[in-house]
Amino acid sequence: MNPGVAAVANTGPTRAAPLGVMIVDDSAIIRGLISRWIEAEPDMTVVGSVRTGLDAVNQVERVKPDVVVLDIEMPDMDGIEALPLLLAKKRDLIIIMASTLTRRNAEISLRALSLGASDYIPKPESTRESGAAEIFKRDLILKVRQFGAGLNRAASPVLPSPALPRSASYILSQTLPAPVKFTLRPFSPNMPRVLLIGSSTGGPQALMSLTARLGPVIDRVPVLITQHMPPTFTTILAEHLARVANRPVREAVQGEAIKAGRVYLAPGGLHMRVARQGDANVIALDDGPQINFCRPAVDPLFMSAIGIWRNEILALILTGMGSDGMRGGKDIVAAGGNIIAQDEATSVVWGMPGSAANAGICTAVLPLDQIAQRVLKIFSGEHA
């Protein structure tokens, strides 16, 4: 691709009124804990605190929340039953599913994303574990604030994208302020020998759409994915990706050889790197400190890949909060590889791809439904 200039949204105005948050959980302890956290933030306030999904559905039109933190397991009406009813009553509602880390809840949380939930957050099994409670608090406040920020920026309505949940598409229609410019890099002509993918918020939906179309690439080269996700959730995601890709997709295992024809997903709670062991390229996992507030993080994968594949790397940075992947992406570009980022209009949150675009390291910034086509062309030797 020739160097070019593309549009990217800038930061929108600040919100005049605090974000209204409704907490829906059958545990009075959890409701009280989250309420205290929310009320301690200057830009948020609790507008409702109820114990069942039915209570939430009955009160949502009266209290008019911006964000709902919705438990899954509740009496009378659980979270998955309440979800579509809440969205039917308030189209622009941001719903964050909250659940403990069980396989059943992970399945339900991923299903909720397809039904219109904006995101999910794992609850600690015990609020007495200070470290777990602090992580839960930090992640919850970050998600509420990030999604709430999308409601601060009005724009003309757009039709929901078929590749995204309805609520995510609505968020996108609210986050399109006046554009500024970013510069695209020339495409490095080196044929990639690996495809790396990093994603976070909105990533499961994006990965499902993308991997369903990448079969010919998976057959030729290994594909390694880091999705910000807790344990158990990555197990379920790997199973879902395997079904849509019709190719082997699994959580990566320490020391296993990296081969073409397979997709390796970083396990929740572990950083995934690549290393050389004898004549083989292998997976290297570790539970070291969080990087960019995440574990797994994208940067360790991107940076370690340079020592193996050098200038023959193609990396994709998809929807997600923060800037994870940007630093590793800079190193990939410096080594002679290429970066493609998802565009703002199809990203649930344009943090990670936006950081890469603004850093000037991308050869293309594309809608989600055009990324697979571009990747297929690259691996066929077409670089334009």
Active site residues: 200, 228, 324
From the number of C-beta atoms within 10 Å of its C-beta (0-12, 13-18, 19+), residue 77 rates as middle
Structure tokens at 221: 């080269």
Distances, alpha carbon 200 to alpha carbons 222, 324, 381, in Å: 21, 9, 29
Q: Position of tokens 């807790």?
A: 230
> Which of 343, 19, 345, 17 minimizes the C-alpha distance to 171?
345
| Angle between helices 130-150 and 28-39 in degrees, nearest 10 | 60
End-to-end C-alpha distance for the chain, whole angstroms: 5
From the number of C-beta atoms within 10 Å of its C-beta (0-12, 13-18, 19+), residue 168 rates as buried
Specify whether the CB–CB gap between 262 and 247 falls below 8 A.
Answer: yes
Indicate the pairing of strand 271-277 with strand 249-251.
unpaired
Structure tokens at 183: 């510069």
